[in-house]
Every structure is written in C-alpha cells, then in structure tokens.
Chain A
C-alpha cells in the first residue's frame, strides 16, 4: 500500500485548501487573548484557543498557579509578549505587580505557597529540557499533588512551552 501513497496524495491534493485563512470559532476574550490574536488566520489559532479555554475552565489547579507557570516559562524563554499578557492575568487573579515581579525574578516570594513553589520549579525545569532535572522534579511533584493535579500540571507546561515558543518566534504586533 505504501507504493500507492503518491497516487492517493496526488488525487486528494486538489481537495485541500492550503493557504486559506482559518478564523476563530469565536473571538478570543479570556487570558492570553492578545497572544492568540497573533495567530489569527493560522490553523494553530483555533486549536490553541480551544486548549486554553479548557485549561482556564478546569478547576483542578488554581488559575493563579497556572498563570504563574505560564509566566515562569515565558520569562525563562525571554518571551516579552507572553510576559506582558501573563502580568495582566496575574493582576486579575489578585497578585500585586510587585509580588508577581518578585516571584518571576527569583522563583519565590512571600506570596507563594509550597505547592506553587514546586509547580514553578517544575515549570522552570521544562524550559531547556534537561531530562534528569525534569524527571527528578516530576517525581517530587507527583508526591505532592493528586493524580489529576499532576496531569493538569503536565498539560499546563506543555501548552505554556508551545505558546511561549511560538510567541517568541513571532514578530511583535503594535
């Protein structure tokens, strides 16, 4: 069957609508809407918007914890766009800008509880993909969190890394 792949590909090539802009099912409005709008027209946009909606809607980890994880990954990757956006989210979650700055700059602060500290340390270790560090930190985190929280934390770091890396690669829109 592999031999016939080129034939199938040629026959279905005409059906594809490459280069056609893909619009959002609904205009992004929640956290990171500003970032998502940068992907307007791209097929990635609606996928990311849907994943982010599900993420913020989930009550398993607090929105503040999730926003902090995004902030740490954005800061570690030097993504200014995601950093500005996440500062707005954290302020909406009741974290004073000075406290948020202290947490981001030093991965700790008086406003941070022990679980959040562990989540941020884990988020930070996913940035440069050092498998030994990630495994060690993941084991520590697994002991501290429930299975559902742990799985959600994995989802958050995966999504945050994708979004922040994409944003870091995009030219900034005024």
Chain B
C-alpha cells in the first residue's frame, strides 16, 4: 500500500512539475509573441514613412509582386515658376530653406485632402488622389488641395517678404485617368508610385499655366467629375506634345464655399465680361 502511495506521490509531483514547466514555457512564449508584436508594429511604422500603410500590410502578407494594379486616379503636378531665376538670386542655404518651405506647404495641403505625394522631381511635385484606396471624391479632393496650396502659398509669400526674400509662384496641373499603381523599381530599390500617360498629361497641363496665365488648370476628365459649385473658367484648347487632340483646360477661380456665397448673377456677368464663353454655355458648364 505504501508503495502505491509513494507511486501516487511521484506521479503527482511529476504532474505538478510538468504543469509548472508548461506554465513557465507559456509565459516565455507569450513574452516572445508580445515582443515580436511590438517589433512588427515598429517596423510597420517605419515602413509607413516610405509607403502607405495599406501597401505595407500587403507587402508583409503577399510580397512585393502582389502590389500592382490598374487604377483610375487623379494626378496633380505642381512646379515652381521661375525657379532658375530664383536659384541665381539666392545662396544655396537660403534657396534650400525656401524650397523646403514650399515642399512642406504642398505636402501639408495635399495630406489634409487625402492626397499622397508621389515623388519630388527637382522643384516639381507629383501627387496622387485615389491611387491607393478607391476614392469616389478624388477630383473634388484634388481641387480642394490645389486651392489649399494656393492659400498656403499666399501666407508663405507674406513670410518670405518679411524676411526680404523674393515671392514664389507655382503652377498646378490636374488630370484624371488610368495608370498602373504599384511598387515600381529595380530589385534592390522600389517605391510605391503610379505610372502612365495620366501623369504626363498632368505635367503638360501644369506647363500650360504659364501660357494661360492661371495658376491652377484642370482637364475635362476632372471637370466632368467635379462638384459644380467650384468656380471654373474654360481656356482655349491648345495642342500639347504627345497628345493627338488639342487639350481643353479649365482654370480654377474659386472654391465651393466662395461659389456658394457668390450670386448666380455675379458669376454670369463675370464670365460674360471676360469674353470666355456665352452665358448659356456657362450654365451648362457649371451644371
């Protein structure tokens, strides 16, 4: 009988030891999982600086090749007017400061309106709306962002004037169309971007801002999707390199809020006086 008790004691002790060991192992595994989760979160946060969070998640789960798809998106191209003259007038350190201020104000305005800065190309900036996630309001967002850039630039120029520095001006071109969105680049270095003719046309439209004398121009494909309360003015069609048909653009005069305050009569008179289009067409144009 005593053997049986002894055996039971041994079995119970062994079970207790096994239980204790299992508990210890469980705690260890939990700590490891928690530390891995923290590490993963930190890694994702770091990666989010380089690409949108959704892209990073897909990169982790499906690999880099999975991130490529055709999308209809809105491209915005902004460029400094008279950069060469500015560069000749300012010393490098001051020039870098002025440029950084411009890049920052554009980035802030764009992010506030759900856009994404794609690439800095010298003094130009390529921006996308609706390239990552579906965005049915992408054209309104792009034009709102352009107007926000215009306002922020006005404030920035006041700062520059106070610092006895020259004012800067920019041109903005907006176009909507299809493109390939994905992680593009070499095996060693890739970036999330969009490629396709939509970007080229946005850049060409931006260049037309000098010709037409308006800082924000958009194409017909954007206008067709745009809130009719934005105040637009049609520009004459112009032949553009690489595009078969002459390109019709619209200058953005004011935002939705300004338009809402403006009486229809004033809009009518203003457009008619400037000889852009007959009043009947204005009504149709503004829907």
Binding site for B on A (CB under 8 A): 2-3, 75-78, 105-108, 110, 124, 127-128, 130, 133
Contact = CB atoms under 8 A, between A and B. Distances in A.
Contact of A106 (B26, B135, B140): B140
Contacts of B54: 128
B137 interface: yes
A108 B133 CA distance: 21
A108 B228 CA distance: 11
A124 B114 CA distance: 11
Interface string B20-31: 001000100000
A92 to B, nearest CB: 24
A107 B225 CA distance: 13
B22 A3 contact: yes
B22 A76 contact: no
Interface of B: 19, 22, 26, 53-54, 114, 133-137, 140, 227, 229, 256, 260
Nearest to B225: A105
Contacts of A3: 19, 22
Contacts of B134: 76-78
Nearest to A125: B114
A75 B137 CA distance: 10
B136 A105 contact: yes
A82 to B, nearest CB: 14
Given A78-B134, A108-B229, A127-B133, 6 more contacts: A76-B134, A108-B227, A108-B256, A110-B260, A128-B54, A128-B133
**Those 6 A-B pairs whose CB atoms lie nearest each other, nearest first:** A106-B227, A128-B133, A106-B140, A3-B22, A107-B137, A75-B136
6 contacts: A76-B134, A78-B136, A106-B140, A106-B229, A130-B53, A130-B114
B227 A133 contact: no
Contacts of A2: 26
A10 B256 CA distance: 63
Contacts of A78: 134, 136
